[in-house]
Structure 1
Amino acid sequence: MLTRTDAHVTTWVIAIILFIVALLLHKAGREKAAKIVHMIVRLFYILVIITGALLFFNNQSINPGLYGVKLLVGLLVVVLMEMILVRTVNKKGTGLLWVLFIILFLAVLYIGLRLPMGWHPFA
């Protein structure tokens, strides 16, 4: 099925770019465009989760604990992205959500790079 990380990395990079674009469009007052991009971001959330789940189920036997932690933290990152967008649209505070998002995003990125299928520049 999914034995390489290319599709997963591509989907989450596009999702983050679209997430930022949706935020910028909303801040610029272009609500209709922001709403369209927000819906596209939601599609990419689904693609990120599907590709991540496929990677998890195909490779969890290598290191089940670390893959499980990455799966849970990755889901939390996706949830935080959506919460930030929704609370921004509703003009509610997002400060704590941003802090959690940055911490968890860095954590999931670090874990992903440490896993056997990750990037090992000094190994």
Structure 2
Amino acid sequence: MDFLASTHLHITSWVVGIILFFVAVLLVNGSKGQKITQMVLRLFYVFIILTGVALFITGMDFDMGMLYGFKLLGGIVIIGMMEMILARMKKQKPTTMFWVLLFVFLFITMFLGFKLPLGSSFLA
């Protein structure tokens, strides 16, 4: 469990996930490359959730379970917004609201992640 609870592994997972998301958004809608990128992105969603849950369990030792819980929920909402954007783009429906929600929750979750004790001292 110590390996999964590595902050560096979690940060690497979500950075790669965000990069893959933007690559999937920029690829031609319905192309084979976009489908493959989305499947790899979904694999990284699993990595992000596993490492996030491991960090949540480790974060319970700091008596800040509620803040880590909010961060965990924010991360799951971000993954949901990413999937909604990709699905609505495929159906050629408007995605503006989901983009706004994605960036709002991404800001909140990243702020919590860097501010909590297991995060790096980026905002200190």
Do the structures match in fold with TM over 0.5? yes
Partner of 1:58: 58
Shift of 1:75: 0.6
Matched, 1:49 2:64: no
Deviating beyond 3 angstroms after TM superposition, the runs of 4 or more aligned structure 1 residues are none
Matched, 1:108 2:95: no
In angstroms, what is the RMSD of aligned CA positions?
1.4
Partner of 2:80: 79
Partner of 1:70: 71
Q: In structure 2, list runs of 5 or more residues that go unmatched.
A: none
8 Å Cα contact 2:6/2:51 also seen in 1: no
Percent identity over the alignment is 41
Q: Per the alignment, do residues 114 and 42 of structure 1 end up closer, same or farther by CA in structure 2, a change over 3 Å counting?
A: same
Q: Per the alignment, do residues 36 and 121 of structure 1 end up closer, same or farther by CA in structure 2, a change over 3 Å counting?
A: closer
Partner of 1:17: 19
Shift of 1:10: 0.5
| AA of the residue aligned to 1:115 | L
8 Å Cα contact 1:60/1:68 also seen in 2: no
Deviations 1:4-47 (CA, angstroms, capped at 9, x unpaired): 30111011000000000011113xx5611111101110110111
Count of matched residue positions in the alignment of Structure 1 and Structure 2: 121
Partner of 1:32: 32
Shift of 1:90: 1.1
Q: Secondary structure at the match of 1:60?
A: helix
8 Å Cα contact 2:10/2:51 also seen in 1: yes
Shift of 1:61: 2.9
TM superposition score normalised by structure 1? 0.92
| AA of the residue aligned to 1:80 | M
Partner of 1:119: 120
